[in-house]
Structure 1
């Protein structure tokens, strides 16, 4: 099996995470992408990892307390803990629809994570599914979450979607767990990979040693901040 390489929030080693610039770069050079979805106060799905704006924008506060128009005046900034390439323009927080537009006419595989593990976004499952129907993406999308109830609601709304459970913990009886919850894959912390014969993808893998191990084990996929480095390494291993 060829391990699929997902650009984790785009390619944060080069561009601001979850930015249009990073996604557009990946759309040209990558094969798969991962990003996170929250809801604004007026129920518009937007892309950001954190529930709050503080780390990656020039503003503060929870996304859920802003409407979509207000967020267009908020600019993404470089995380001081990374060494990213500056973009030449101010970038606002992208909406899910804008990101779907970027990848709609590509062969990129999408991992859409619903960020419901800390905050509740009532109706987010139906909103995301309805937006997904507008695009020709369904066969190359996996919907993931740390919240098993979110995945259950997604299944109830649409039995045809690929669903993946995110976990930093060991999954007991993974095959049974996946069958019970109608899961297509497990997205696991790289330290707790199960030996069970199930589709598993691991996060977040940035060292060459860990990448090599994933490729040698022929895991289903890995999430990385540098998909280009991972791609070069995979060519030498697989």
Structure 2
């Protein structure tokens, strides 16, 4: 099995995480991407890792307390020594629809994580699925979450979706767990890899040693902040 390399939040070693610029670069040079989805106050799905704006933007507060119109005035920033200068006047928080537009008509594999492990976003599953229906991407999409109830709701809404459970811990009886919850894969912390012959992808893999170990184990995928380095190691390019 060839290990698929996912650009974790785009390619943060080169562009600010979860930026349109980073996603556009990956669409041209990568093979798979991972990003997280939250809902605004007016139920627009947007892409950011954290529930709050504080770490990666020029503003602060919870995404869920802002309307999309207000978020359009917020700049992304580099999370390096908490730089306050915006990366670019054009780098703003992307919506899910804007990101899907970038990857539409590409062969990029998308991991769309519904970020419901700490906050509840009522209706997020239906909203995301409805938006995905607009694009010809379903064979290229896996929907993931740390929240098993989110995945169960996704399955109830559409039995055909490709679902994966995120966990920082090893899963006991992984085959049974996956069958019971209609999962196609487990997305595990790199220290929680299962010995069972199942489809598993690991996060977040940035050291060459951990990358090479994943390739040797023939894991299904890995998530990394530097997909270019990972591809060079996997493909044996100096």
Smaller-chain TM-score bracket: over 0.9
Shift of 1:87: 4.8
Shift of 1:80: 1.7
Q: Counterpart in 1 of 2:67?
A: 67
Q: Counterpart in 1 of 2:216?
A: 216
Aligned residues of 1:145 and 1:165 also touching (Cα < 8 A): yes
Q: Does residue 234 of structure 2 align to residue 229 of structure 1?
A: no
Shift of 1:217: 0.4
Number of residues of Structure 1 aligned to a counterpart in Structure 2: 235
Aligned residues of 1:184 and 1:199 also touching (Cα < 8 A): yes
Question: In the TM superposition, what are the counterparts of 1:82-101 in structure 2 within 5 Å?
Answer: 87-101=87-101
Tell me: CA distance 1:81–1:182, structure 2 relative to 1, closer, same or farther (3 Å): farther
Shift of 1:179: 0.2
Shift of 1:105: 1.3
CA distance in 2, matches of 1:39, 1:132: 15
Aligned residues of 1:21 and 1:87 also touching (Cα < 8 A): no
Q: Counterpart in 2 of 1:78?
A: 78
Runs of at least 4 residues off by over 6 Å: none
Tell me: CA distance 1:81–1:141, structure 2 relative to 1, closer, same or farther (3 Å): farther
Q: Counterpart in 2 of 1:164?
A: 164
CA distance in 2, matches of 1:22, 1:62: 23
Task: Identify unmatched segments of 5+ residues in structure 1.
Answer: none
Q: Could you give the per-residue CA deviations for residues 52-87 of structure 1, whole angstroms, max 9, x where no partner exists?
A: 00000000000000000100000000002599xx85
Query: Any idea what SS the aligned residue of 2:169 has?
Result: coil
Q: Counterpart in 2 of 1:118?
A: 118
Aligned residues of 1:13 and 1:82 also touching (Cα < 8 A): no
Aligned residues of 1:212 and 1:234 also touching (Cα < 8 A): yes
Question: In the TM superposition, what are the counterparts of 1:20-169 in structure 2 within 5 Å?
Answer: 20-81=20-81, 87-169=87-169
Query: Any idea what SS the aligned residue of 2:236 has?
Result: helix
CA distance in 2, matches of 1:112, 1:144: 6
Provide TM-score, normalisation by structure 2: 0.96
Query: Any idea what SS the aligned residue of 1:33 has?
Result: strand
Cα RMSD, aligned residues only: 1.4
Query: Any idea what SS the aligned residue of 1:201 has?
Result: strand
CA distance in 1, matches of 2:20, 2:121: 24
CA distance in 2, matches of 1:119, 1:225: 25
Q: Counterpart in 1 of 2:10?
A: 10
Query: Any idea what SS the aligned residue of 1:50 has?
Result: coil
Query: Any idea what SS the aligned residue of 1:58 has?
Result: coil
Task: Identify unmatched segments of 5+ residues in structure 2.
Answer: none
Q: Counterpart in 2 of 1:173?
A: 173
